[in-house]
Structure formats: structure tokens, C-alpha cells
Amino acid sequence: MLFKDEVYRIIGAAMEVHKELGPGFLEAVYHEAFGWELHDRDIPFESEKMLKIH
């Protein structure tokens, strides 16, 4: 699998957010928490990147 280590780290971050928050929040809450978790784990990301559609 390509990027196996990277995928493992990202899924781990997502699982941690789910473990801490549990179910029932709006997507925006998980989005922000996931961003903080990625930041804390030094995983670079861009939130809501704009796409050019022609």
C-alpha cells in the first residue's frame, strides 16, 4: 500500500477525535477537533482547500 505510515497516522488521529468526542456533534465540531489533532501530531494539512472547477 502506498503511504501506509501516513494513512495509519491520519486514521489514528480520526479515531482519537471520535474516542474523545463520541457521537452526536455537528460536522463542524469534528472538523475543528480533527484539525487540532492533526496539528498536535505534526501532520500537515489544509482545511477546506478551494478547488478550481472549469
pLDDT at 17 (0 to 100):
98
pLDDT beyond 80 at 1? no
pLDDT at 13 (0 to 100):
98
How far is residue 54's CA from residue 33's CA, in Å, rounded to a whole number?
32
pLDDT at 5 (0 to 100):
95
Q: Summarize pLDDT for 8-54 with one digit per residue, the tens.
A: 999 999 999 999 999 999 999 999 999 999 999 999 999 988 889 98
DSSP conformation class of 7: H
Record the pTM. Answer: 0.85
pLDDT at 44 (0 to 100):
96
* Contact predicate 37/30, CB 8 Å: no
